[in-house]
Structure formats: C-alpha cells, structure tokens
Amino acid sequence: MTITQENVNKWMEKGNHMTPFQRQLREMGACASAREWVGDRTAASAWGECEEPGWMLWYAEKKGVPKLSFVGIAIEAARMVLPLVPDGEDRPQLAIEATERWLAEPTEENRAASRAGARAAEAAAGVAEAWAAAWVAVAWAEAWVAVEAAMEAAWARAVAWARAATWARAAAAAAVPEVAWARATARAASRAAAAINKELCEMIRREITL
C-alpha cells in the first residue's frame, strides 16, 4: 500500500489509536512517512531514536528552536566536508572559523567578517563539488536553508567516499562488469548515506535539546 497522509491518518485514528504526539505531528503537517515511523513513540523517544536528520531539523524548526542552534549545526556539517578541500586551500576553513567567531560573539563586526570569509570561500567553491553546498551553509548560516545545504554536502561526501571505496575494491579484484560495479556502488552509497545520516542526527541531538 502506498504511504499517503490519508492512509496514515486512517491507520492512526482506527480504534482511537492517535497518540498525543501523533496529534501534534498531524497539526504541524508532518509527512506521512515520518508519522508512520513514529508510530506509538513519544516525542522524547522519537527524538532520541530518529536517524533522519531532515525530519529532526523540520521538527526543531516547528518547535521554535533559536536560529543560532541551526548555525552551529550548519558549521559542524560544513566541517564534515573539509577533507574534500585540496591541501593548501584554506579559504573554506577560514570562512567556517569566521562564522564560529560570529556565533560565539554575534556582533555586527563579526557578522561582516563572517560574510567576507564566505565570499572568499565562494571563490574556492570549485575546489570540490561537495564543498559548494557546504559553502552555502557557511555563507548564510543564520538561515534555515543553510542547514539543508550542509546536509546535502554531507550526502555528497557519503556518495563520494562510497564510490571511491567501491572502485578500490573492484580494482583490487581485477575487472568487474560495468553493471555489477554500478550496483555495488549504489549499495555502498546507500550504506554510507545511512552512516552519515546517523552521524548528522547525533550532531543535531548534541546541538538541540527538546
């Protein structure tokens, strides 16, 4: 059966099964997939067990978590892709540090320095495809979209690492048919993405307490 909001509502409401948290999620407009996963979990247990960073960030925003908390998450996620930046290219690192100074002391001077560092990092955005998304996170760290950009960068890192690892294994085992390699890459990327999602969720829990 296809998961739809209507199907989830019917399932949860059958036999007065709608929990207080489920009612809250419905009122907030949570997606059907998230509500199905939540099931009978309380808000606390769902927050502690969730491994979907997008759901957690959406819920935190709906709960009115201060924007500065999202800035911290964006910075941490941006740091995750720094290994993709070539040696000797320090503009992304400097941009992150400038934003961290603004986070610690949100003065107009530090805010201007953060944006200046972000503009410098933009010039370096071509050094790695994944860095482009991380740079957006640093440049506009005070905005909600920044967190999503940082998450995309982490996903890009997961896929890149999975492909590299798969290729290395294939090379070590001599030739592998192209179709088989593509399937192996997809499986490895999926595993890597799951690991990255788990890491990101732990990061969110460190930054945000609900």
| pLDDT, mean of residues 123-152 | 56
Read off the pLDDT of each residue in 21-30 and give the average, rounded to a whole number. Answer: 94
Instruction: Supply the mean pLDDT for the chain.
Output: 74
Please state which of the ranges 69-83, 97-111, 114-128, 137-151 shows the lowest mean pLDDT: 137-151
What is the value of pTM for the model shown?
0.70
| Every domain of the chain and the residues it spans | 5-49, 67-207
Cβ–Cβ under 8 Å, residues 131 and 170 = no
- Give the number of other Cβ atoms within 10 Å of residue 123's Cβ: 10
Asked if residues 58 and 208 have their Cβ atoms less than 8 Å apart, the reply is no
Q: How deeply is 86 buried, as exposed, middle or buried, from its count of CB atoms within 10 A (0-12, 13-18, 19+)?
A: exposed
